[in-house]
Chain A
């Protein structure tokens, strides 16, 4: 029997019972659609986390103050509150080796900031001219903090786009205007480009001022809250991380690395950790969805077993007129695979539709990937074979005489 004939026989059988075929298929549609939608949500989350981390710069090593792992627990005093890192530490790191591309110490704090009639509470960061390169910040209007500003302790400020919007209104050009930070007047000299990200810790809701100015007028001391070190390349990072740790341990006169009063974080590690969390999240979502797919498969098997019983006479008749076991098994197997295959195609359409809708309504970022679609097709066909095999075998094994006697 040729496959085209088998397809004709099976499609006729499926069409003869549209409601039942449709409902059984629905189980597969829902299963496949939820797998695709869930995986796309998970991968979207993974991608947006990676983008966020990449947007802070490339090949970055961040040195932050704080007591690391005291006796097995983190005695973190909150970033910036521990005063252990200084400008001299940053200079020492800069002098380390050719592995270092740039060093940008910074001093950040939250202050009340006012302009004409407006005010906002935002993060004010004291920076050095190397900051834009290291932290991947781009200038939209005006210019960034210069070496000259540093030396002369200039009271100049560069606004992040969100801070600009809050103080001067959306899409305005505030260059030349003045703002007050903790009552001290600063002249706006530039605005940075938006990086995206919302809420607390947004890269856009910031105001940059010269580091020297921040130390002198806002903090009143010479400490820094973060030292961003950019490595020459990806390969240099691990070695550099170790060198920085050793250097600072020596400078701070700490012999036991467990008691270090700073932490050195490698951007790759952050990406890897965040990705693995997102991946776990994806797997979790996908396995919940996979359960519904298995339930759909059981629905297929249930329907096929009912069909085989109902059509016992037909099977007997087909055998009497020359159908082999294989012909009968193929007929019922193809019927199951056709059900799951069509269900799979609809499931893909629904799943892609749902994830596009989720992204379009701005709920979450989603990413539908080709591999997940290919996998969905393979899985639905596989389910047809797996759950259709037993009923098909049962049909094929029916004794023609018993089947003909069956009423």
Chain B
């Protein structure tokens, strides 16, 4: 369902030109759990922005669910993000002064989902993301780092997207909390068949995925199954 071929991205900053992606091609099928791994500055975030329709490539083709999205305008991209993509970022994921419930329901507001359906859908997503119901009415600045990421995952899920993109979602968490969050992704992938693309520079984190795409200097250098896959066995949370 994701098919990119020969994607390049050149940032132009006044007289400076920087080619962050130099011809990237791969495809990701429905239900895959893929990690994109590479050192800092290798172009991972740039790639994620293009996959997430936040930006368009300088050249190359990108088909999402069979539709060419490489040359859409701002409004059409917003539509696609709204309907097909859920994001989890490293930090600043939530609106600080809004409750957990409101944060999770926000994509539904932009998707014009009727107000009375929103709470039920937000609850379902929060449950899938494993956040305790006691926190639903909390403001997001009253939550711990791990809880924030779960709320972010719930928000990414709420619109039932075909693709979840997570950019260094454990970057701000300690190892133990990070494991819990990664376990949540695994669970969503296994139990709900969600397609997940996880971006990280740590191989420990990448090994939670089934497949790892290694990038360096804007190119794919290796694309393989995770050899030593780590499975998180989680109880009922």
Contact residues of A with B, CB < 8 Å? 1-2, 4-5, 9, 12, 16, 313-314, 317-327, 400-401, 404
Contact = CB atoms under 8 A, between A and B. Distances in A.
Between B78, B92, B95, the greatest number of chain A beta carbons within 10 A of the residue's beta carbon is seen for: B78
Interface of B: 49, 52, 54-55, 74-75, 78-79, 81-83, 86-87, 89, 92-93, 95, 97-98, 106-107, 109-112, 115, 155, 159
A5 B55 contact: no
A330 to B, nearest CB: 12
A327 B106 CA distance: 12
A326 B82 CA distance: 14
B36 to A, nearest CB: 17
A115 to B, nearest CB: 79
Given A321-B87, A400-B54, A5 B95 contact: no
B75 A1 contact: no
B185 to A, nearest CB: 18
A247 B74 CA distance: 83
A322 B93 contact: no
8 contacts: A1-B110, A12-B98, A314-B95, A317-B89, A317-B95, A322-B82, A324-B78, A327-B110
B74 A325 contact: yes
A327 B82 CA distance: 12
Given A1-B112, A327-B110, A321 B98 contact: no
A255 B89 CA distance: 98
Given A5-B109, A16-B97, A401-B55, A319 B78 contact: yes
A317 B93 contact: yes
Closest 10 CB pairs of A and B: A322-B82, A322-B110, A324-B78, A321-B107, A16-B97, A5-B109, A400-B54, A320-B87, A313-B92, A322-B81
A404 B93 CA distance: 10
A324 B97 contact: no
A325 B110 CA distance: 11
B95 A323 contact: no
Contacts of B78: 319, 322-325
Contacts of A325: 74-75, 78
A321 B82 contact: yes
B10 to A, nearest CB: 14
Given A16-B97, A404-B89, A321 B155 contact: yes
